[in-house]
């Protein structure tokens, strides 16, 4: 039996810039240390991943979409990627069914972000 929680209230996800900087800095400092030795220095864990606005708009435009969930997946080169899906008010993933659906009603799954490294944003407090 699983416990289902509803989506948190708006505003509960926000943190100050300083906390974000501290978290991003600690991750950059420690990300290789959490990997087994043979997987280090291969950019397996991205520092960031950038998605265009259209991807989020498509997710949020889905029927009954109340939020976005981020899963972490891995490609054949063992690089970790964010995989985004919409979720409904009951905190359930909005996923394509196994049956036949018209192409226009198939829920969206987002990946293919710009992964840093290799495609990194300009310098900022979060990306020194």
* Whether residue 85 sits in one domain with residue 38: no
Buried b (16+ CB within 10 A) or exposed e, 95-105: eeeeeeeeeee
pLDDT digits (tens, 9 = 90+) for 67-119: 999 999 999 999 999 999 999 999 999 988 755 555 555 668 887 888 899 88
Domain count within the chain: 2
In a domain, 20, yes or no: yes
In a domain, 4, yes or no: no
Whether residue 40 is predicted with pLDDT greater than 60 in this model: the reply is yes
Please state the pTM of the whole predicted model: 0.78
* Whether residue 57 sits in one domain with residue 19: no
* Whether residue 100 sits in one domain with residue 82: yes
In a domain, 57, yes or no: yes
Q: Which domain holds residue 22?
A: 15-42
pLDDT tier, 8 (very low <50, low <70, confident <90, very high otherwise): low
| Residue 71 φ/ψ, nearest 5 degrees | -100, 160
∠ CA 25-29-35 to the nearest 5 degrees?
A: 130
């Amino acid at each position: 039996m699983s416990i289902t929680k509803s989506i948190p209230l708006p505003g509960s996800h926000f943190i100050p810039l300083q906390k974000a900087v501290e978290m991003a800095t600690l991750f950059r400092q420690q990300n290789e240390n959490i990997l087994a030795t043979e997987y280090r220095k291969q950019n397996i864990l991205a520092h960031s991943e950038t998605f265009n606005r259209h991807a989020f708009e498509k997710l949020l435009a889905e029927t009954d979409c109340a939020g976005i969930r981020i899963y972490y997946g891995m490609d054949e080169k063992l690089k970790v990627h964010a995989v985004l899906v919409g979720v409904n008010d009951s905190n359930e993933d909005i996923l394509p069914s196994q049956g036949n659906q018209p192409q226009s009603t198939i829920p969206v799954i987002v990946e293919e972000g710009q992964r840093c490294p290799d495609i990194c944003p300009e310098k900022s407090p979060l990306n020194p």
